[in-house]
Structure 1
Amino acid sequence: MHIVNNTIDEIGWTNYHWKLFFLNGFGYAVDSLLLLLQSIIATPAGYQFNPAYPRALTIAVYVGMLTGAIFWGLSGDIVGRRFAFNTSLFICSIFTIIAGAAPNWVALSVFIALLGFGGGGNLVMDTTVFIEYLPSKKQWVLTWLAAWWGLGQAIAGFIAWGFLSPAKWNCPDPFNKQGVRISVCEDASNKGWRYVMYTSGALVFLMSIARITVIRLKETPKYLLGEGKDAKIVEDFHSMAAKYNRPCSITVEMLESCGTVRSAHGKSKFSVGELTVHFRGLFATKTIGFSTILIWISWTLIGLAYPLFYVFLNSYLQSRGADFGVPSTFITWRNYALVNISGIPGPMIAGYMCNWKLLGRKYTMVIGALLTMIFFFAYTQVRTEDENIGFSCAIACCLNIYYGTLYAYTPEVLPSAHRATGNGIAVACNRVMGILSAVIATVANTETSVPIYVCAALYVAMAIVAVMFPFEPYGKRSS
């Protein structure tokens, strides 16, 4: 691993890394785009289909992303990173477009789950692939990758703003205050949510095509190292060095002199033993095991806090908007887009902070969590429209300081041969709590400030867990 890291540092940052930054960033953007789409279209689609369980789409997307995270995470360690990288976005795009043509609520929920399955592999593979090519002095760039998450949110907000604001594409609310249907919502007058899905699906499809045409991703050197393919590692490094006119001194003899790698896989790749190897590798020592558990706890906590605020933000804004005298859905969706745009600078600020020796990754997460907590508590005192938008935007920015750093920290400290598995389980923990948040939303009133207080308390817990992390990646090279 030292030899491989030395070679990555020797070659340094190249245009190949810029391409990875953009193409892996597409995965981040799609993940957040898809996560918000289901909450965006749930209300207008519900007007048309009159569902028995209105939160079905939220549960569907999280179930899909849960199974996708586990499937793509395990496959990334078993058959390689390249397959998931090239496939996941394509699956997302196809089922997003199909979901736009859903004839009823059950079909829509199924297609939402399937697009979530494809999206479940994005966060796992994007960080895994990127970190395994990054020079040590550029590992902080992994934090910046999360800025694409905010961009995906912003795109979702703008698409919703464009298609869900015009009255010609959207039915008025067919229910009275008692929840009794008083009018019919025909498909012909309710095309807005379908256009949202078609447009989003087409955009994701273009991203999936870019992934296989702009860059021909080769298997990562650290995955190949776990496979014992020394000659292939050397060949790929020299090919990259020659293409970008960089020095490269690695040889097959240097790797072979270290012995043979025998512990990265089981006797058969498609066996229970293979799964056991990757799970045990995350607990190889007490310190590594403690780190793994804390990472999973962090993803679990943010998995509950994030959707309670974001996925149900539109209903909260609408309820507050009534108090503020917001006159139209146009203003509501404009506010939604503005809040999502504000999430973009968060990971960039985090990237700057985590590269300070005084803060590192751990205390950047602590600061991001505590700032978010402060703004959450302050948000409950909002009384004007300007305050509403201002505090919502501040929360979006600070929240992504924490989230962006956690995204980067997770693959940095996980052992390379088992990185995708550990990352996949972490994201799966996140999705389980997303499902729970939908259940909470069913039995609780998300139009009150209660979820805000709950989120604030959760961020205090996240800050405490961040302090307890045993590893600080600043100034160190990932395995």
Structure 2
Amino acid sequence: MTEPIPTDPEKQIAAVSTDDEVSSLGKGDILQQEHVDPVLTAKIHLVNNAIDEIGFTGYHWKLFILNGFGYAVDSLILLIQSIIAGQAALEFHPSYKNGLTIAAYVGMLTGAIFWGLSADIVGRKFAFNVSLVVCSIFAIAAGASPTWEVLGLFVALSSFGGGGNLVLDTTVFLEYLPGSRQWMLTLMAAWWGIGQLVAGFLAWAFIPNFSCSDPSLIPSAAPCTYTNNKGWRYVWYTSGTLVFVMSIARITIIRLQETPKFLVSEGRDAECVATLQAIATKHNRPCTLTLATMTAAGTLSRPPRPLGWKAKFSLAEISPHLNGLFSTRRIATSTALIWLSWLLIGLAYPLYNVFLPAYLASRGAVFGQTDAHVTWRNYALVNFSGIWGPVLAAGLGRWKALGRKGTMVVGAGGTAVFFFAYTAVRSERENVGLACAGNFWGNVYYGTLYAYTPEVLPSAHRGTGNGLAVSGNRVMGILSAVIATVADTSTPVPIYICAALYVVMAGVAAVFPFEPYGKRSS
């Protein structure tokens, strides 16, 4: 039995837990020493104590799964467009074959910014409930596209809906998590790999069986038309339907309330306390936090909030969230380095993963293997390996000697090693094996960065900071598509570039100013 949590704010701050990851209740919050807003800092600390007092419940498992759906959708939509682009191009004969990749990243760029800002300005609940519905509708519509341009439009709109989920899912899950379970934020990135795997299986199932042949490779092949080239459409129909089912599950199963930390940052203390008390009551857990305790911590000074969506997204409303990301020297340094990391991986990851089908196919041809079934089987195997990177990362991040920063160094370094080794493959087995290893270690880094970013951002500005970080990632994804247009992605050159970028990422991770291990998000 743990001792009951004292109701006095000062005694709460001094309380110490005996939880599994060094400490939880009463331990210092990550940004507690930054002295940005003492009243908000005190209130966030009280909320953290209450969340720790309630502990991990079935509600958190639901959040883990339903927020994980968003992770899976982000990777699913991104890879689907790259998987079907070749077959769709045979049917539509576009003048710019990498247009779908740019469309997807433009949609994800605008989605990350819009949903990220809305998370801080309107609330987490709206984006959580709406984003996947938007994504699913346009994903299904993409399968019925009559032209390349319409397909690009639907890809962009579907990506807009799915593009904010990396921002929202981590934020929502983190802001309900007990401090000792924050490592699960890294584990949740395994859903990204699941989305990749689903994309690989859909490609394996539909592309080889329901697609026309490339006339440039098989001169006797019939021209590609709507009738003989429906495989890529089936991929969109299936993935869109799957996303729609996920979106309905998110709305109906959990009935999400606004997160406690968002409510506190908005000065809505009574709603915050009510939300936490409701969770505690439903799961028969203690929660000694009261409105009187919150009120005793002080009152936030807030200007009158604007009415209407146009006013809410005005520069005057957005500026405080931008300024909050640079409110102290350490926070500013942290924000800048996080954004740099997302820019770097935004270039490295697409060059390797989005264009991997072309590279695998070219290596298969070198080894005398040109069967489409085997190519897409290999693609599925590579994606399957990516699921387990975040699982290892979650374990390494709980090791005091490494923490989150050390895990990112190990993940980025391991990825660089296997990427460099990839260029020396001499057999089909080496080809697939090293591709799997590279994807595994890449997701060790990526999964940890996913979790680290919201962990060290201030709660009041978490959606904005996270959204801009992910949007920078998308900008570099667009750049990678341009690079792929002028470069030969069937050569090892993109692999060398990616390996070098991961070395830089490891160095950046090593100098991050904050280490979340043993502390709680602010």
Range into which the TM-score falls when normalised by the shorter chain: over 0.9
Q: Aligned partner of 1:365: which letter?
A: M
Aligned partner of 1:309 in structure 2 is 352
Alignment of 1:418 with 2:466, yes or no, is: no
Q: Contact 1:360–1:472 (CA<8 Å) still a contact in 2? A: yes
Alignment of 1:60 with 2:103, yes or no, is: yes
Match of 2:376 among 315, 333, 340: 333
Alignment of 1:195 with 2:234, yes or no, is: yes
Q: Contact 2:213–2:222 (CA<8 Å) still a contact in 1? A: no
Alignment deviations for residues 184-229 of structure 1 (CA, whole Å, 9 cap, x no partner): 2111000100000000001000000000111110000000001111
Q: CA deviation at 1:175?
A: 2.4
For residues 372 and 339 of structure 1, the distance between their equivalents in structure 2, rounded to whole angstroms, comes to 14
For residues 430 and 390 of structure 1, the distance between their equivalents in structure 2, rounded to whole angstroms, comes to 27
For residues 192 and 446 of structure 1, the distance between their equivalents in structure 2, rounded to whole angstroms, comes to 24
Match of 1:232 among 267, 271, 289: 271
Q: Aligned partner of 2:315: which letter?
A: V
Aligned partner of 2:216 in structure 1 is 175
Alignment deviations for residues 393-417 of structure 1 (CA, whole Å, 9 cap, x no partner): 1011100000000000000000000
Map 1:71-150 onto structure 2 (within 5 A).
71-150=114-193
Match of 2:452 among 409, 424, 438: 409
Give the TM-score normalised by structure 1.
Answer: 0.97
The CA RMSD over aligned residues, in Å, is: 1.4
For residues 389 and 235 of structure 1, the distance between their equivalents in structure 2, rounded to whole angstroms, comes to 53
Alignment of 1:260 with 2:260, yes or no, is: no
For residues 440 and 264 of structure 1, the distance between their equivalents in structure 2, rounded to whole angstroms, comes to 46
Name the % identity.
64
Alignment deviations for residues 64-123 of structure 1 (CA, whole Å, 9 cap, x no partner): 000000000000000000000001111110000000000000000000000010011111
For residues 279 and 408 of structure 2, the distance between their equivalents in structure 1, rounded to whole angstroms, comes to 34
For residues 222 and 340 of structure 1, the distance between their equivalents in structure 2, rounded to whole angstroms, comes to 35
Match of 1:223 among 234, 239, 262: 262
Q: Aligned partner of 2:261: which letter?
A: K
Map 1:197-216 onto structure 2 (within 5 A).
197-216=236-255
Aligned partner of 1:356 in structure 2 is 399
Count of aligned residue pairs for this structure pair? 475
Between stretches 462-471 and 226-235, larger displacement belongs to 226-235
Alignment of 1:11 with 2:54, yes or no, is: yes
Aligned partner of 1:346 in structure 2 is 389
Moved over 4 A (4+): 180-183, 263-268
Aligned partner of 2:10 in structure 1 is none
Aligned partner of 2:435 in structure 1 is 392
Alignment of 1:433 with 2:476, yes or no, is: yes
**Partner of 1:26: helix, strand, or coil?**
helix
Alignment deviations for residues 43-75 of structure 1 (CA, whole Å, 9 cap, x no partner): 000010000000000000000000000000000
For residues 35 and 291 of structure 1, the distance between their equivalents in structure 2, rounded to whole angstroms, comes to 28
For residues 363 and 266 of structure 1, the distance between their equivalents in structure 2, rounded to whole angstroms, comes to 41
For residues 424 and 414 of structure 1, the distance between their equivalents in structure 2, rounded to whole angstroms, comes to 11
For residues 174 and 420 of structure 1, the distance between their equivalents in structure 2, rounded to whole angstroms, comes to 48
Between stretches 285-294 and 321-330, larger displacement belongs to 321-330
Q: CA deviation at 1:262?
A: 2.4
Aligned partner of 2:328 in structure 1 is 285
**Partner of 2:359: helix, strand, or coil?**
helix
Q: Aligned partner of 1:87: which letter?
A: V
Q: Aligned partner of 1:236: which letter?
A: T
For residues 258 and 170 of structure 1, the distance between their equivalents in structure 2, rounded to whole angstroms, comes to 65
For residues 19 and 296 of structure 1, the distance between their equivalents in structure 2, rounded to whole angstroms, comes to 30
Aligned partner of 2:281 in structure 1 is 242
Give the TM-score normalised by structure 2.
Answer: 0.89
Structure 2, unaligned runs of 5 or more? 1-43
Q: Aligned partner of 1:194: which letter?
A: R
